[in-house]
Amino acid sequence: MIHIPKFAFAGFSDAKEKDNDVKFGGLPVGLPIEKWPVCKECEGPMTFLFQMKHHPTRLPLGKEGRVLYLFQCESEEGCSTWDAEDGCNKVLILEQEEWNNNPITELPDEDTLMLPDLAVTAWETKEETGQENWTHFGGTPIWIQSDEEVGENYQFAVQLDNGFRVKATDLSELPIGETSEYEGKKSYQLQVGEDEFVWISELGSNEYYCPFANFGDSGSGYVFINADSKSPSGKFIWQCY
């Protein structure tokens, strides 16, 4: 079985009811600031991608209360974020007691990119059939290049695509800048954080395509987990066309 998250823009009407154990983009929650990972190549703080608490079927981390955080460097230096061992991405798994209640209210560095702040409002669980759900928890990876493994004891856990389908019933709530139209399809400039923008585009039925992390040319990312009871760990890679 696979588990597919349904997204809405955090902080707006569509995200009023959400799964509080998971969040994508924006700022991480519960992470002690000193654990914010730094890129080994460019030495800048990495960008936060998502976090999620242990869930017995969607994200088994081996113990109640554990939380997984995924980061990767999004600097323009072109660091080796696709590689599991180069130190340009980071999977952190914290124990419940390592959680910190002091909220992180700003990025650790003004040059660190923030991704669109997304809430998960529902999950769809279904049989794994074909390749229609690139972003999914559990099941097996949909590879773009050849199959990869990241080491013994590591099991595939999550695939993240480079952009998501996000619900926005009332676009006028969102911080929208410019609008553009191409072949009858509208795109909107969405403000992210203080001074970043991404272009979101209409998909119909009040849904928009929202670009997310940089995984190269139309790439997809893969999280692997070693859910060891004493010292859990995770690895991340991505592939692209």
Q: By CB under 5 A, is residue 47 in contact with Zn ion? A: no
Q: Per-residue DSSP letters for 128-160?
A: --TTS--SEESS----SSS-----TT-EEEEEE
Near Zn ion by CB under 5 A: residue from 47, 51, 72, 75: 75
Shortest Cβ 162–Zn ion spacing (Å): 18
| Of 214 and 220, CB closest to Zn ion | 214
Given the rule CB under 5 A, which of 4-12, 34-42, 134-142, 231-239 is the region that contacts Zn ion? 34-42
The rounded distance, in Å, linking the Cα atoms of 96 and 99 is: 5
Q: Tokens 């409002």: give the residue.
A: 121
| Of 8 and 237, CB closest to Zn ion | 237
Contact in structure between 218 and 197 (CB atoms under 8 Å): no
Q: By CB under 5 A, is residue 39 in contact with Zn ion? A: yes
Q: By CB under 5 A, is residue 113 in contact with Zn ion? A: no
Q: By CB under 5 A, is residue 144 in contact with Zn ion? A: no
| Of 38 and 174, CB closest to Zn ion | 38
Near Zn ion by CB under 5 A: residue from 27, 38, 42, 144: 42
Query: What spatial distance separates the first Cα and last Cα of the chain, rounded to whole Å?
Result: 27
Angle 72-202-192 from CA coordinates, rounded to 5°: 40
The rounded distance, in Å, linking the Cα atoms of 36 and 28 is: 9
Binding site for Zn ion (CB under 5 A): 39, 41-42, 73, 75, 79
